[in-house]
């Protein structure tokens, strides 16, 4: 009789759940910035937060904390706020959900919000490590997909698997599709969660690690706000610091043409931190910067710089005190900056998938150059 020595999914999940070197769920805070250089200058920096969900650990059974306001009962901030006068007493006594993966909350993690359109591979479908796509290959809404690369709706996979495990499989497939292989260690999502029931995220990032917890993969899930479409960029990382370039192939901003070059600088570092009870914990420091250029030169510099702490009741409460409605403020700032660019800075609007040569920006740039030469 032959006994298989290949580990099962349950065995792998058990090992991961017991692995003390695995990354804990993180709460990462820092800033996001935009520095526009052409055709007119415009700069801004805003505070930003990502929920660092270890999707591998989550699928293995490492639950996210459930946080509510019950501990605020005797806190002077709540007692002095208008909430105590407006909300029903029964609701205040029970506690308001602040962060949850199980029920509606101020911040709610919903696995089905992420990686829409990906599904686990069926038995007659195969994608191996050699089937990598180059940086310029993508699947758009109008492109047909062959039978061997079919991507079904999320509903197909969620009927068979718990939602957390389904998300892990979708992420593994997304890495294979867009980076050429799947990470051999933890897969961590830098995610924006639902905020007061509203999901909105300009970009989510997914980091992949090897068995030694060295960064090996990056996946960016980009949404273009005005058109509500998603696109994926996947790359292999070379450890803590990596740089790479590729042609832009997804229209994001109505003020940038499609024929541009993206230059990424990615830094992912692990840090050791000591809590008040003298226990050591591992955090992440992440910096992802993108320099965007075209035939005119450097057009835009943008990015995020965030540092992580373990996702606990204390860190969640502290973060939400500072910025309870980040999704809504982010959306308001995006449209506010768009209005500023168009109405005040006079940056010409660019149609969807329009090249620079066909846009009003080319005309305005030429006229400005002629004026300076005169």
DSSP letter for each residue of 30-43? EEEEEEE-SSS-EE
CB 151 within 8 A of CB 205: no
Distance from CA of residue 238 to its chain's centroid? 20
Beta strands across the sheet bearing 107-108: 67-68, 97-100, 107-108, 194-195
CB 257 within 8 A of CB 356: yes
Tell me how crowded residue 153 is: count the other CB atoms within 10 A of its CB. 11
Cα gap 27→309, rounded to integer Å:
5
Cα gap 138→151, rounded to integer Å:
13
pLDDT given at position 69:
81
Residue with tokens 């830094």: 267
Backbone angles phi, psi at 62, to 5 degrees: -80, 100
Question: Does residue 4 sit in helix, strand or coil?
Answer: coil
pLDDT given at position 22:
74
Report long-range pairs for 166-170 (Cβ below 8 Å, ≥24 apart): 166/111, 166/120, 167/55, 167/58, 167/59, 167/111, 167/112, 167/114, 167/115, 168/55, 168/56, 168/58, 168/59, 169/120, 170/114, 170/115, 170/118, 170/119, 170/120
pLDDT given at position 216:
98
Query: Where does residue 144 rank: exposed (0-12), middle (13-18), buried (19+ CB within 10 A)?
Result: exposed
CB 224 within 8 A of CB 251: yes
Residue with tokens 């930003």: 48
Cα gap 229→184, rounded to integer Å:
30
- The encoded tokens of residue 284 equal 């992440």
Residue with tokens 């846009």: 359
- The beta strand positions in 37-151, using DSSP E, are 42-54, 67-68, 97-100, 107-108
pLDDT given at position 85:
66
Cα gap 250→144, rounded to integer Å:
17
pLDDT given at position 213:
92
pLDDT tens string for the chain (374 positions)? 333 333 444 444 444 444 546 789 999 999 999 999 999 999 999 999 999 999 999 999 999 999 998 644 455 555 556 666 666 665 566 678 999 999 999 999 999 999 987 864 433 333 443 343 344 443 333 333 333 343 444 444 445 689 999 999 999 999 999 999 999 999 999 999 999 999 999 999 999 999 999 999 999 999 998 898 999 999 999 999 999 999 999 999 999 999 999 999 999 999 877 655 556 677 999 999 999 999 999 999 999 999 999 999 999 999 999 999 999 999 999 999 999 999 999 999 999 999 999 999 976 655 454 444 54
Q: 297 pairs with which residues across the strands?
A: 294
pLDDT given at position 80:
57
Residue with tokens 């909430």: 83
H or E element that contains 235: strand 229-236
Q: Beta strand pairing status for 203-209 and 215-224?
A: antiparallel
Apex 129 CA angle, 125 and 131, nearest 5:
65
Q: Residue 302: name the closest of 293, 294, 312, 313 by CA.
A: 293
pLDDT given at position 253:
95
pLDDT given at position 72:
46
Question: Does residue 98 sit in helix, strand or coil?
Answer: strand
pTM above 0.85, yes or no: no
């Amino acid at each position: 009789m032959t006994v298989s020595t290949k580990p099962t999914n349950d065995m792998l999940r058990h090992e991961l759940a017991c692995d003390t070197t695995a990354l804990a769920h993180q709460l990462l805070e820092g800033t996001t910035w935009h520095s526009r250089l052409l055709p007119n200058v415009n700069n801004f920096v805003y505070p930003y937060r990502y929920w660092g969900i270890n999707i591998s650990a989550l699928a293995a059974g490492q639950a996210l904390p459930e946080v509510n306001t019950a501990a605020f009962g005797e806190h002077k901030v709540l007692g002095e706020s208008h909430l105590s006068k407006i909300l029903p007493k029964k609701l205040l006594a029970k506690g308001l959900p602040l962060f949850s993966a199980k029920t509606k909350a101020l911040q709610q993690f919903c696995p089905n919000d992420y990686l829409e359109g990906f599904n686990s591979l069926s038995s007659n479908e195969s994608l191996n490590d050699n089937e990598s796509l180059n940086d310029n290959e993508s699947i758009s809404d109008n492109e047909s997909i062959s039978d061997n690369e079919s991507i079904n709706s999320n509903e197909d996979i969620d009927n068979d698997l718990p939602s957390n495990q389904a998300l892990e499989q979708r992420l593994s497939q997304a890495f294979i599709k867009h980076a050429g292989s799947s990470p051999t260690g933890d897969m961590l999502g830098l995610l924006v969660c639902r905020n007061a029931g509203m999901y909105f995220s300009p970009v989510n990032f997914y980091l992949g690690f090897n068995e030694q917890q060295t960064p090996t993969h990056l996946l960016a899930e980009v949404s273009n706000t005005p058109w509500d479409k998603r696109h994926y960029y996947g790359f292999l990382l070379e450890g803590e610091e990596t740089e790479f370039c590729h042609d832009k192939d997804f229209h994001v901003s109505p003020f940038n043409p499609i024929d541009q070059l993206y230059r990424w600088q990615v830094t992912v570092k692990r840090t050791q931190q000591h809590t008040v009870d003298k226990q050591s914990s591992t955090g992440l420091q992440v910096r992802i910067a993108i320099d965007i250029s075209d035939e005119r030169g450097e057009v835009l510099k943008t990015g995020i710089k965030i540092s992580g702490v373990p996702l606990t009741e204390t860190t969640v409460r502290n973060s939400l005190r500072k910025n309870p409605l980040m999704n809504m403020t982010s959306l308001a700032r995006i449209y506010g900056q768009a209005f500023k660019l168009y109405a005040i800075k006079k940056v010409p609007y660019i149609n969807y998938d329009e090249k620079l040569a066909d846009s009003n920006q080319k005309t305005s740039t030429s006229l400005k150059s002629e004026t300076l030469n005169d």
